[in-house]
Structure 1
Amino acid sequence: MLHFFIVIVGVYIATIGFALLINVSPRALNLGGVVAVSGYLVYLAYSTFVGGYVGGNVFGAFSIGIFGMMAARYKKMPVIVFNTPALVPLVPGGQAYQVMKYVAMNQPHMAFYYLTQVVMIAGSIAMGFLLSELFIQLFYYTRRQILRKLDHM
């Protein structure tokens, strides 16, 4: 349980630290950290109970996209202010490091193995964001249609 708490606090602090590096407004720092923690919790839950880093990253990025849009509406700020720092825990930095290490050691098979992981994780993060945008657009479209029908009654 202590390990889980340390991981969550680490995700929050890493997100806030990265947000400070890229000059995110102080108004968005706390909520940006909460968005990152929520996305990482979804990633951890999927990876733990279902398995697979690709699906975990899709659902983690999807939840970051949804919660980021909700936070942006709440704070009346651009979505990118919340989504960009919240992605830090999902970025495949360890695998990218392994690619460069094995390239330098002249072991192309291992470098290619880790490169495929990097590409799959990056693609799954992009897919998660795409699906979250699609979901939000469908939600607001359906809501507008229902409200129009209610107005005509």
Structure 2
Amino acid sequence: MTWWQGLGLSLVSAVAYGLLFNVPVRALLAGGLAGMTGWIVFYLLPFWGAEVTLSTFLAATTVSLLSQLLSIYLRVPSTNFSVAGIIPLVPGSMAYKAMLAFVNGEYIHGITLATKTSMVAGAIASGLILGISCVTVWKGARYADKRPKAH
């Protein structure tokens, strides 16, 4: 698969999941762009030596931050963007290969793939939490600056 095919597929899959989850029409393209941006980060980081788990973590963090910013800009919940945006990062084929290895009796290979799948899933969850936390801290710092100072 070439990079531009990956861009197109990540955009289409994120928009399709947005449709599936009843995302408002005005936010569909933004959700697709969030998914495409996450995929770009995931795709480019291994060229600089990052492992799959790290690149997934940073891509999920990027999707989460972008989802938070888009939710503020478009005034819709951030889950509209984050759920559709992480779809291109989900390790579905890796989980399938792990189960196939177990069915074929290749238990060591299956355990290895299942462990990698779990690590990638954990990286997605951790990246989403980090993005939400960063925006929450930023909002709190902005609010703290606007509060009247006690003398």
TM-score > 0.5, shorter chain as reference? yes
Counterparts of 1:145 and 1:99 in 2: how far apart (Å)? Answer: 49
Q: How does 1:53-92 map to 2 (within 5 A)?
A: 53-92=52-91
Amino acid at match of 2:145: I
**Which moves more between the two structures, 62-71 or 45-54?**
45-54
Counterparts of 1:145 and 1:47 in 2: how far apart (Å)? Answer: 39
Q: CA deviation at 1:90?
A: 0.4
Q: CA deviation at 1:47?
A: 2.1
Q: Does 1:120 align with 2:123?
A: no
What count of residue pairs does the alignment treat as equivalent? 150
**Which moves more between the two structures, 2-11 or 130-139?**
2-11
Q: Does 1:148 align with 2:147?
A: yes
Counterparts of 2:80 and 2:17 in 1: how far apart (Å)? Answer: 11
Counterparts of 2:47 and 2:132 in 1: how far apart (Å)? Answer: 26
Q: How does 1:41-56 map to 2 (within 5 A)?
A: 41-56=40-55
Q: How does 1:32-47 map to 2 (within 5 A)?
A: 32-47=31-46
Amino acid at match of 2:79: I
Counterparts of 2:145 and 2:44 in 1: how far apart (Å)? Answer: 34
2:29 matched residue in structure 1:
30
- TM-score relative to the length of structure 1: 0.90
**Cα deviation 1:55-112 (Å, max 9, x = unaligned):** 1011101010000011111111111111111111100011101111111112111110
In structure 1, stretches of 5+ residues that fail to align are none
Counterparts of 2:12 and 2:101 in 1: how far apart (Å)? Answer: 30
* Corresponding residue SS for 1:87: helix
Counterparts of 1:145 and 1:20 in 2: how far apart (Å)? Answer: 38
Amino acid at match of 2:32: G
2:3 matched residue in structure 1:
4
Amino acid at match of 1:114: L
Q: CA deviation at 1:24?
A: 2.1
RMSD: 1.8
Amino acid at match of 2:107: P
Amino acid at match of 2:126: M
* Corresponding residue SS for 1:29: helix
2:134 matched residue in structure 1:
135
Q: Percent identity?
A: 22
